[in-house]
Chains A and B, each alone.
Chain A
Amino acid sequence: MKKKYLVQSTSFLRFILLLSLFVILVIGGFTYRHISNLTDSTEVVIKTYKVNVELEQIVSYLRDAESGYRNYIATKDTFYLKPYLNTYKKVNNSFLRLKGLIEVNSEQQENLKVLKILTDSLFSNFSKTNVFVKNDETNTEAFKTLYFKEKIIIDSIRRQSTVMFELENKLLNIRQKENQSDLQFTPLFFYSVLLATLILIIIAYNKISNDLKNIKAKNDQLLIFKESTNQSEIIGNHGNWIWHIDSNKFAYSDNLYRLLGKDPQSFEATFDNFLKFVHPEDVDKFAEDLDKMIDVEELPVTNYRIIQKNGSIKYLKAYAKAFYSVDGQKRLIGNTSDITDEIESILTLEEHNLELERNNKELSAFNYAASHDLQEPLRKIQTFISRLEEKEGAKFSDSGRLYLERIKSAAARMRLLIDDLLQFSRTNKPDKEFVSADLNDLFENAKQDVAEIISEKKTKITCDNLPKATVIEFQIQQLFSNLLSNSLKYSKEETVPIIKINYTKVKANDTPDLLKASKSFYHKITFTDNGIGFDQKYAEKIFELFNRLHNKKEYSGTGVGLSICKKIVDNHKGYIFAKGEINVGSVFTVYLPVN
């Protein structure tokens, strides 16, 4: 975005420059034309004046000739004929000059021809009258006629020259007017063009100063960015480096030196100097990775170790990518991160996990073996007791029989404990298969498991229609049967037990119990009974292994059943909660994730 802006601004400036150059060129052209116009019009004026001078000269020559001639007629002195004799030549020269000055084929040319005829006829008249003067016949009628004609011709010449003079002046006026309109327009045009150029230059200046301001702001941002990068490198334990491939020069950031355990910029940044820190076992792989980097232009994240000067080993992770500068120079920009803490914590975590796994395995193996192997001697004890009771019972005293009864019930209780423990250890094994199952079927099976007690206590059980779910079938059946048997076990003695099973599908967000849940929807199944209930403060304790709220004599529980329930629900990534009120009943709520 910023880059685009800069490009736009550069081309805009170039455009303004070209436009200004063009305008200046145009102004130059116009100036040249205007000056040449001025020169032209001056020349025309000079020419007109020259024509007028020539015309006046012709008239004055003729006037001189005429007045000289008149004196000659009066005095008969040939001295006065001199101007007359010179005039013809001079007038002809003037005509030649005029011909050159006056434009070809114009009205003035015609006028000039008329003037020439007039002067020619004047001179021929002179020669005719001259004969009369020589012969002294000036009083004759013929001379008078000729002399009069001479006067008329001179008048005509005067008129003709006046006409030509006026015409020339008229032409001059027209030309001057034409030029003037040209000249009037030119300054205005110059001024506006200059104004436009000025505006363009102001815009360009504005633009440039704006760009400068932007560049300054960007520079400032860059400085801030650089500083924050420095800080983030320190805090994040990483450094960056640039490898100018063409000139094979390196640059390390300050923190990269710190990662190596050195002061910033304390040695020359070269490949060999860096290699000195790399762990001997990792050197080959590191060099290989770097070579690869040049070819593929992108280094897949590479891990290696370094040894700092003080001998401590650090784990580093590097990533780099080729980057071309504006002038096509290839550079690798890389980042190196110290992941020692990460690696070490992963290693300890792995170790702990392995240990935990081992402990867990040992424990469950022990649990299984113990409960399994304990079954055999117990079975024998019980069988022997039954043999003893059957065969020798009659011979026992009252207290002997009592002791035998006690042994029997203790053995029975041990059997119960071992069975439950075995079951608990079986729910531990994680390799069970999840399948899609109809929970209604599993509930029916669970009811069958405890059918005897249900009918014995005449229990009323109502159950909503349960959904299908992906579960470990036998475990869910076990869960249902344990919850049922729990309710049956802790029912009130003189009340008919009522167990209600309700089902709804709930959204985790809307359910206070499920605030930490990972899935969005859960099957909520509640088991509500009217039994003896419990104090709410034990709500969490009752799920702990071997935890019982009542003494063995009153109720026959082992404290394993609900632990198994908890374990099963955990296996299904669900939740189980208990709510109780003494002498009112208890509610067990099971949440199983929807798929």
Chain B
Amino acid sequence: MHTDYIHIILADDDEDDILFFTDAFDELKINTRVNTFNDGEELMNYLNDDESLMPDVLFLDLNMPKKTGIECLREIKTSDKMSGIAIAIYSTSASEEDIEKTFVLGANIYIKKPNDFKKLKKVLSEVVSINWQYHTNALNKDNFLLRL
């Protein structure tokens, strides 16, 4: 295990969003390593590989080709090995339906992609600094959607 940096994975099919995401972490000056995957299948292949390094936080887009975010979430939360990973849903929409579904499936936080770069940086720094154990214990439907 590593202690000197935070391992972050983003699964998102949108190149622009990946660019914003990596740019934001570059500028944040937090010691992080960011791995990105372009679809759900790629992500699950990586996670299922025994030699892969498990992330501290997984950012999951919902609308992805091959395997959707919801499918990935279900697989991860039902697997013994992966169920401990903190999962942040990272989506354009914040429809009640999606929020409800991902909450029930065990996601830890729901982030609506901000439309301002400064806001994005703020959100990401907030998320990576969360004490997950504490957050998960106090988690309910009202604080599931991250509001800044």
Contact = CB atoms under 8 A, between A and B. Distances in A.
Interface stretch (A113-121, A263-271, A372-380): A372-380
B20 A383 contact: yes
Nearest to A373: B92
Interface residues of A, number: 13
Given A380-B16, A383-B20, A390 B117 contact: yes
Given A378-B115, A415-B115, A383 B120 contact: yes
A379 B118 CA distance: 13
A382 B17 CA distance: 12
B77 interface: no
B92 A379 contact: yes
Interface string B1-20: 00000000000001011001
Contacts of A406: none
A382 B92 CA distance: 13
Interface string B79-90: 000000000000
B113 interface: yes
A387 interface: yes
A390 to B, nearest CB: 7
A375 B20 contact: no
B29 to A, nearest CB: 16
Contacts of A386: 116-118
A380 B18 CA distance: 11
B1 to A, nearest CB: 34
B92 A375 contact: yes
In this complex, which of A382, A383, A386 has the most chain B Cβ atoms within 10 angstroms of its Cβ? A383
Nearest to A380: B16
B143 interface: no
B78 interface: no
Contacts of A382: 115-116
B117 A383 contact: yes
A163 B16 CA distance: 170
Contacts of A390: 117-118
Contacts of B23: 387
In this complex, which of B23, B114, B117, B118 has the most chain A Cβ atoms within 10 angstroms of its Cβ? B117
B31 interface: no
Interface in B74-114: 92-93, 95, 113-114
Nearest to A377: B16
B28 to A, nearest CB: 14
A178 to B, nearest CB: 124
Nearest to A375: B92
Contacts, number: 33
Contacts of B120: 383
A537 to B, nearest CB: 38
Nearest to A372: B93
Interface string B114-126: 1111101000000
A376 B95 CA distance: 14
Contacts of A383: 16, 20, 114-117, 120
Contacts of A384: 16
Interface in B117-148: 117-118, 120
A387 B115 contact: no
Interface string A379-408: 110111011001000000000000000000
A256 B15 CA distance: 77
B122 to A, nearest CB: 12
A379 B112 CA distance: 11
Nearest to A386: B117
A380 B120 CA distance: 12
Contacts of A380: 16-17
Contacts of A372: 92-93, 95
B41 to A, nearest CB: 22
In this complex, which of B92, B113, B118 has the most chain A Cβ atoms within 10 angstroms of its Cβ? B92
B92 A376 contact: yes
A415 B112 CA distance: 14
Nearest to A379: B115
B23 to A, nearest CB: 8
A423 to B, nearest CB: 11
A378 B114 CA distance: 11
A372 B94 CA distance: 10
A376 B91 CA distance: 10
Given A380-B16, A383-B20, A375 B93 contact: yes
B117 A387 contact: yes
A576 B93 CA distance: 31
Nearest to A368: B95
A558 B113 CA distance: 23
Interface in A412-429: 415
B119 to A, nearest CB: 8
Contacts of B115: 378-379, 382-383, 415
Contacts of A379: 92, 113-115
A384 B17 CA distance: 11
A386 B115 CA distance: 9
Contacts of B16: 380, 383-384
B141 to A, nearest CB: 13
Interface in A347-379: 372, 375-376, 378-379
Contacts of B17: 380
B4 to A, nearest CB: 29
Given A376-B14, A386-B116, A386-B117, 8 more contacts: A372-B92, A375-B93, A376-B92, A378-B115, A380-B16, A382-B116, A387-B117, A390-B118
Q: Which 7 A-B pairs have the closest CB atoms?
A: A382-B115, A386-B117, A379-B115, A376-B92, A386-B116, A380-B16, A387-B117
17 contacts: A372-B93, A372-B95, A375-B92, A378-B115, A379-B113, A379-B114, A380-B16, A380-B17, A382-B116, A383-B114, A383-B116, A383-B117, A383-B120, A386-B117, A387-B117, A390-B117, A415-B115
